[in-house]
Structure 1
Amino acid sequence: MSEQDQNSTKGRVAIGMSGGTDSSAAAAMLVDQGYEVIGLTAHMWKDGSRCCSLEDVERARRVCAYLDIRHYVVNAQEIFTDKIVDPFVEAYASGRTPSPCIYCNSFVKFGFLMDRALQLNCDHLATGHYACVRKKDDGMFHLLAAQDSNKDQSYFLHRLSQKQLAFLLFPLADLPKPEVKAYSEERGLPIVPRGESQDLCFVEEGKLPDFVEQRDPSVMRRGEIHDQYGNVVGHHDGLHRFTVGQRGKLGIALGERMYVKRLDKENNVVEVAPRPGVMKSECTLADIHWISGKAPEGDLHCEVRPRYRSNGAVATVKVGNGKGSVVFGEPQFALTPGQAAVFYRDGEVLGGGWIDEVP
C-alpha cells in the first residue's frame, strides 16, 4: 500500500488522465488535498492521434508514477467508434457539422469512465475540465462556467445528468490556466508539452475531408455551388468539405466575400451568400436536455451560445416534448445544423439542444 493510500482521509477519486497539463495538475491537486487518487486513461483511438492514444497512455503513466498513485488503462475504442466517430461521419455525410466532444463527454469520459470508477469503489470521478459543479440549497447539482472564460468548457458538458454531476469533481474550476501551468512547474510534474490545437483529437490536422471519405466513400458526390439568387457559381466535390459560415476554400471568386449559407443535402448543393445573408435570428432545436432533469414551464428567457467560443446572446427558448426553437434578440452569424445551442443564465448552464433547422 502506498503512503497516499495509508494517509488518505477524503475518500477515493478516479481521475481521467491524458498526460496533458490540465489532467496532470488536477491529479496532483487531489493528492495534495488528501484524496486517494487513481489515474484512469481511456485508450480511445489509434496511435498518432491526440485522443488518448498509446503515446498519451505513456504520458499519463509517467505522471502517475511521479505522484505515486495507481494507474489503469481502459480500452474505450469500441464505444468511442460507435458513439463518437461513426455519428461524426454520418453527420458530415448528411450535410451537418457535428460536435463530437459533447458526445465524448456524455458517453465516454462521464459514462464509460464513470462506470470504471464505480467498479473501483471510488467516491468521485474527476477530470481536468474547466467548469464548476455546485450543490445548492435546492438539493440540485448546478453546472457553472469556469472562472477562466478563455478556457471555460461548460458548453461541452451541457448534456450531463444530475447523477453524473453528483459524482464529479473539477479541481481546476476556479483557476486560470496560467496558475495551473505555474502549479505544474512548481510541483515538478513530468509533463511533455504538446500544444493546444483546436483541431479534432482523432483527425489529423487538415485531414478532415479525407477522414470522412475513408470511412464513407459515398460522400464524394460532385455538385453545384449556388449564390443567394440560385445561380450556379461553381462546383464542389462533396458537402462534407464545407460547413455553414465557412469563407475560405470555396473555390469561387465573385468579387466579394462569400460565406457558406446552407448545405442542401437533398439537392447536393452548397449555397453561398455575403455575410448579411448568413445572419439568422432563429432556429429549431432537437433532443433538448435539461441539467435539472425537467423542462421549465413556459418560455425560457436566457442567454444562448450557438457554438463554442460564442459570448452568447439574449434569446427566448420555446420548448415542448424535447423539441423547441430559439429566437434571438438580434441576428447571429452562421447558425449551424448539428451544433449545440446551450442555455445560460448568470453563468449557469441550464441545458441545451442540437440545432436542427435554420429557416
Structure 2
Amino acid sequence: MSGGTDSSAAAAMLVDQGYEVIGLTAHMWKDGSRCCSLEDVERARKVCSYLDIRHYVVNAQEIFTDKIVDPFVEAYAAGRTPSPCIYCNSFVKFGFLVDRALQLNCDYLATGHYAGVEKQADGKYHLLSAKDPNKDQSYFLHRLNQKQLAFLLFPLADLPKPEVKAYSKERGLPIVPRGESQDLCFIEEGRLAEFVEQRDPSVVKKGEIHDPDGNVVGHHNGLHRFTVGQRGKLGIALGERMYVKRLDKENNVVEVAPRPGVMQVACALDEVHWISGDEPEGELRCEVRPRYRSNGALANVRFAGGGKADVVFDEPQFALTPGQAAVFYKDGEVLGGGWIDEAS
C-alpha cells in the first residue's frame, strides 16, 4: 500500500468483500521520492487506520538499491534505457513482499495494479490486460511466474479509473490526491541525469553527435542524457527535425537521423520470459508492445534458444530502444516478453 487511490481502493474493496486484510507497505527509498518513501508510509497508515486493519511497514531499501537502482544506473552508463518498474515488480512488489506476506500467513497478496489474473482450464494462471486500456499495467508485469500469479489478487482488473475514484470518494477514504507523474518514483522530477551522475561520475564524458552521414554536428556531455527516439534537447540545429537513432557506447557517439531513419522493422531480444513457464514451439504470431504506451503491432517472434528471440514486425516501428521491454500479447493475454538488445 502506498496510500494512493488505487492501493487504498483495492484494500477497501477486499474489506467490503469480507476478507481479513492487512496493509503492507515497503519503505524502499528516501524522503522526497514517490511511491516508496516515508511519506507514503504515513499515507498508507492513515488509510489502514480508517479501514480498521493492521498495517505493517517493511524495510526494502537494500533490495531496492541492489536490484533496481544500481542496475538502472549501470544501464544508463552502458548507453541503454532501462525499465526499473518491471524489475521492481519482479523482485520487490511480487518477490520481497510476497515473502513477507507468507510470513504473515496470508493467503493472497493484492495490489492496486490494473491487470487481471485467471486460472484457466489448462490448470495454469494467465495474466490478462485490464478492462481499462488507458490504465492497463500488464506490460510491467510480464516477467511474473506461475508461483507469483497463483498468490495474487487484482481487485481493480475490471474497473475504469473514474469508477475507482468515485468508489474511493463514496467510501470516504482519507486519500491526499497527487498528480500521476510519468517520471520514476525514486528520482526527483527532471533530475534523472543528475541522479545517474551522482551515483556514477564516470558517465560524464564528452563526445560527438553524428548525422546519418557520420558528420560531426554537435557535442554532448554523456550518453546518459539521451535515449533512442528523443527529439528535444539535442543541442543541434540541422534545418529539420532530428531524433536520436543510436547510442554508440564504444565510441561515445550519439547518432541522430530524421524520423524515417529511426523507424525499424526488427529487434533482437534477450532474457525472454514466458509466463506459462514453457517456450512455445516454432514461431509465434502475436502483438508485440515495444514500450508501455504502445498499442502493440503484429509481428512474428522467432526463438533462438538460450532466452533469445528475434521479433520481425509487419510494419516499421518508431525507435525500438535497447533496454526497454518488448511484451507479447494475444487476445488480451500477456504471454511473456524480453529485453530489446538491438534493433535493425
Q: TM-score, normalised by structure 1?
A: 0.95
Q: Is it true that 1:260 corresponds to 2:244 in the alignment?
A: yes
Equivalent positions of 1:32-47 (< 5 A) are 32-47=16-31
Q: TM-score, normalised by structure 2?
A: 0.99
Of 180, 195, 211 in structure 1, the residue corresponding to residue 164 of structure 2 is 180
Distance of 2:176 and 2:146 partners within structure 1: 35
Distance of 2:326 and 2:32 partners within structure 1: 32
Give the deviation of 1:262 after TM superposition.
Answer: 0.1
Q: Is it true that 1:215 corresponds to 2:199 in the alignment?
A: yes
Distance of 2:227 and 2:8 partners within structure 1: 34
Distance of 1:228 and 1:146 partners within structure 2: 41
Residues 121-161 of structure 1 show CA distances to partners (whole Å, capped at 9, x for unaligned) of 00000000000001001100000000000000000000000
Residues 320-356 of structure 1 show CA distances to partners (whole Å, capped at 9, x for unaligned) of 2210110000100000000000000011000000000
Give the deviation of 1:30 after TM superposition.
Answer: 0.3
Residues 203-238 of structure 1 show CA distances to partners (whole Å, capped at 9, x for unaligned) of 011000000000000000000000011000000000
Of 211, 214, 224 in structure 2, the residue corresponding to residue 240 of structure 1 is 224
Distance of 2:36 and 2:312 partners within structure 1: 39
Equivalent positions of 1:308-323 (< 5 A) are 308-319=292-303, 320-323=305-308
Distance of 1:150 and 1:178 partners within structure 2: 11
**In structure 2, what residue type is equivalent to 1:254?**
L
Q: Is it true that 1:84 corresponds to 2:65 in the alignment?
A: no
Give the deviation of 1:195 after TM superposition.
Answer: 1.0
Q: Is it true that 1:349 corresponds to 2:331 in the alignment?
A: no
Aligned residues: 343
- Give the fraction of aligned pairs with identical amino acids, expressed as a percent: 86
Distance of 2:294 and 2:343 partners within structure 1: 18
Distance of 1:55 and 1:230 partners within structure 2: 49
Of 42, 48, 67 in structure 1, the residue corresponding to residue 51 of structure 2 is 67
Q: Is it true that 1:158 corresponds to 2:142 in the alignment?
A: yes
Distance of 1:224 and 1:294 partners within structure 2: 45
After the TM superposition, which parts of structure 1 deviate over 6 Å for at least 4 consecutive aligned residues?
Answer: none
Q: Corresponding residue for 1:284?
A: 268
Give the deviation of 1:21 after TM superposition.
Answer: 0.2
In structure 1, the gaps of 5 or more residues are 1-16
Q: Corresponding residue for 1:327?
A: 312
**In structure 2, what residue type is equivalent to 1:191?**
I
Give the deviation of 1:358 after TM superposition.
Answer: 1.3
Residues 227-254 of structure 1 show CA distances to partners (whole Å, capped at 9, x for unaligned) of 0110000000000000000000000000
SS in 1 for 2:150: helix
CA contact (8 A) 2:67 2:87 kept: yes
CA contact (8 A) 2:36 2:186 kept: no
In structure 2, the gaps of 5 or more residues are none
Distance of 1:194 and 1:150 partners within structure 2: 18
Q: Corresponding residue for 1:129?
A: 113
Distance of 2:21 and 2:320 partners within structure 1: 42
Q: Is it true that 1:119 corresponds to 2:83 in the alignment?
A: no
SS in 2 for 1:122: coil
CA contact (8 A) 2:301 2:310 kept: yes
SS in 2 for 1:173: coil
Distance of 2:213 and 2:25 partners within structure 1: 52
CA contact (8 A) 2:132 2:158 kept: yes
Q: Is it true that 1:274 corresponds to 2:258 in the alignment?
A: yes
Distance of 2:153 and 2:56 partners within structure 1: 19
SS in 2 for 1:224: strand
Equivalent positions of 1:16-31 (< 5 A) are 17-31=1-15
Q: Corresponding residue for 1:145?
A: 129
SS in 2 for 1:186: helix
**In structure 1, what residue type is equivalent to 2:103?**
Q
Q: Is it true that 1:100 corresponds to 2:118 in the alignment?
A: no
SS in 1 for 2:208: strand
Distance of 2:213 and 2:192 partners within structure 1: 30
